[in-house]
Amino acid sequence: MIPDGSKDVNNFKAFFPNAPEPLTIDLKTRPCNSIIASLNMLKMNKIAVFAAIASLLLSTPAQAQLLNLLFNKIDRHALVKRHNVILTDFNALTPLSVGNGRFTFTADLTGLQTFATHYEKGIPLSTMAEWGWHTFPNTGNYKLEDTFRQVDTDGRKVPYNIDRESSPALYLRANPHQTNLAQIGFVLLKKDGNQASVEEITKPRQQLNLWEGILKSSFQLENDKVEVETFCNPDVDMLVVKVKSKLLKTGRLGISLKFPCASAGWGPNPANWENTDGHTTEFITNKEKEGLLLRRMNDLEYHCILKYSRKTELTQASKHIFNIRPLGKGDSFQLCVLLSKGIVDLSSYEFEKLRRRCRHHWKKFWTTGGAIDLSQSKDPRWKELERRIVLSRYLTAIQCAQKYPPQETGLTVNSWFGKFHLEMHWWHSVHFALWGRPEILETQLTWYRQILPAAKEIAGRQGYDGARWPKMVAPDGRDAPSNIGPLLIWQQPHPIYYAELMYRQKPTRETLEQYREIVEQTAEFMASYARWNQTSKCFELGPPLISAREFQPEDFEQTKNPAFELAYWAWGLNKANQWRMRLGLEPQEKWEKIITHLAPLPESNGIYIEQQTPAVADGGHPAMLAAFGMLPDSPLVDKETMKKTLKYVMKNWEFESTWGWDYPLIAMTAARLGQPEIAIDALLMNVKKNTYLPNGHNYQDLELPVYLPGNGGLLTAVAMMAAGWDGAPDKPAPGFPDNARWKVKCEGLKKLP
Domain boundary among the residues 364, 384, 415 is at: 364
Does residue 680 lie within any of the structural domains? no
Residues 182 and 324 in one domain: yes
Give residue 64's pLDDT.
57
Does residue 641 lie within any of the structural domains? no
Looking at the chain, the number of H-run helices and the number of E-run strands are 20, 34
Does residue 675 lie within any of the structural domains? no
Q: What mean pLDDT is reported for the chain?
A: 92
Contact 550, 489 (CB under 8 A): no
Q: Categorize the per-residue pLDDT at 72 as very low, low, confident or very high, splitting at 50, 70 and 90.
A: confident
Contact 228, 260 (CB under 8 A): no
Does residue 574 lie within any of the structural domains? no
pTM equals 0.92
Q: Is the peptide bond before 176 cis (omega within 30 degrees of 0)?
A: yes
Residues 158 and 121 in one domain: no
Helix ranges restricted to H, 351-493: 351-367, 382-399, 425-434, 438-450, 452-461
Give residue 12's pLDDT.
36
Helix ranges restricted to H, 414-557: 425-434, 438-450, 452-461, 494-505, 509-514, 516-529
335, pLDDT greater than 60: yes
Does residue 433 lie within any of the structural domains? no
Q: Categorize the per-residue pLDDT at 24 as very low, low, confident or very high, splitting at 50, 70 and 90.
A: very low
How many domains does the chain contain in total?
Answer: 3
Give residue 67's pLDDT.
58
Give residue 51's pLDDT.
42
Does residue 262 lie within any of the structural domains? yes
Q: What is the pLDDT of residues 39-69, one digit of tens each?
A: 444 443 444 444 445 444 545 555 555 656 6
Please state the φ and ψ torsions of residue 283, each to the nearest 5 degrees: -65, 135
Give residue 13's pLDDT.
41
34, pLDDT greater than 60: no
Residues 232 and 268 in one domain: yes
379, pLDDT greater than 50: yes
Q: Is the peptide bond before 22 cis (omega within 30 degrees of 0)?
A: no
Helix H or strand E segment including 52:
helix 46-56
Q: SS3 of 224, please? A: strand
Sign of CA dihedral 580, 581, 586, 591: positive
Strand-pair partners of 236: none
Residues 299 and 170 in one domain: no
Contact 753, 628 (CB under 8 A): no
320, pLDDT greater than 60: yes
Domain boundary among the residues 320, 344, 364 is at: 364
Kindly list the distances between the CA atom of residue 278 and the CA atoms of 81, 262, 320, in Å, as whole numbers in the listed order. Answer: 45, 9, 11
Contact 213, 362 (CB under 8 A): yes
Does residue 300 lie within any of the structural domains? yes
Does residue 670 lie within any of the structural domains? no
305, pLDDT greater than 90: yes
Q: What is the pLDDT of residues 85-102, one digit of tens each?
A: 999 999 999 999 999 999
Pair type for strands 371-373 and 745-747: antiparallel
DSSP 752: B
Q: What is the pLDDT of residues 145-154, one digit of tens each?
A: 999 999 999 9
Angle formed at CA 616 by CA 614 and CA 622, multiple of 5 degrees = 125
Residues 53 and 191 in one domain: no
3, pLDDT greater than 70: no
Please state the φ and ψ torsions of residue 244, each to the nearest 5 degrees: -130, 125
Residues 149 and 246 in one domain: no
Whole-number percent of the chain with pLDDT over 70: 91
With CA atoms as reference, report the closest residue to 87 among 15, 11, 22.
15
Q: What is the pLDDT of residues 598-656, one digit of tens each?
A: 999 999 999 999 999 999 999 999 999 999 999 998 889 999 999 999 999 999 999 99
Residues 92 and 46 in one domain: no
Give residue 633's pLDDT.
87
Kindly list the distances between the CA atom of residue 66 and the CA atoms of 69, 100, 311, in Å, as whole numbers in the listed order. Answer: 5, 32, 48
Give residue 529's pLDDT.
98
Whole-number percent of the chain with pLDDT over 90: 90
Q: What is the CATH number of the domain that holds 123?
A: 2.70.98.50
Q: What is the pLDDT of residues 674-695, one digit of tens each?
A: 999 999 999 999 999 999 999 9
Q: What is the pLDDT of residues 215-224, one digit of tens each?
A: 999 999 999 9
Residues 48 and 165 in one domain: no
Residues 188 and 257 in one domain: yes
Provide the residue range defining the domain that includes 302: 85-135+176-364
Q: How far apart are CA 598 and CA 531, in angstroms?
A: 9
Contact 667, 683 (CB under 8 A): yes
Domain boundary among the residues 324, 346, 364 is at: 364
For 17-21, 95-99, 665-669, which range has the lowest pLDDT when averaged over its residues? 17-21
Residues 197 and 62 in one domain: no
- Burial label, 60 (beta-carbon count in 10 A; 0-12, 13-18, 19+): middle
Residues 163 and 90 in one domain: no
Contacting residues for 527 by C-beta, under 8 A, at least 6 apart: 465, 466, 573, 588, 590, 591, 594
- Across 436-445, average pLDDT: 97
Residues 165 and 277 in one domain: no
Helix ranges restricted to H, 301-406: 351-367, 382-399
Q: How far apart are CA 83 and CA 97, in angstroms?
A: 15
What is the rounded end-to-end Cα distance, in angstroms, of the chain? 39
Contacting residues for 651 by C-beta, under 8 A, at least 6 apart: none
Strand-pair partners of 96: 107
Give residue 16's pLDDT.
38
Q: How far apart are CA 559 and CA 556, in angstroms?
A: 5
Please state the φ and ψ torsions of residue 105, each to the nearest 5 degrees: -120, 125
Give residue 178's pLDDT.
98
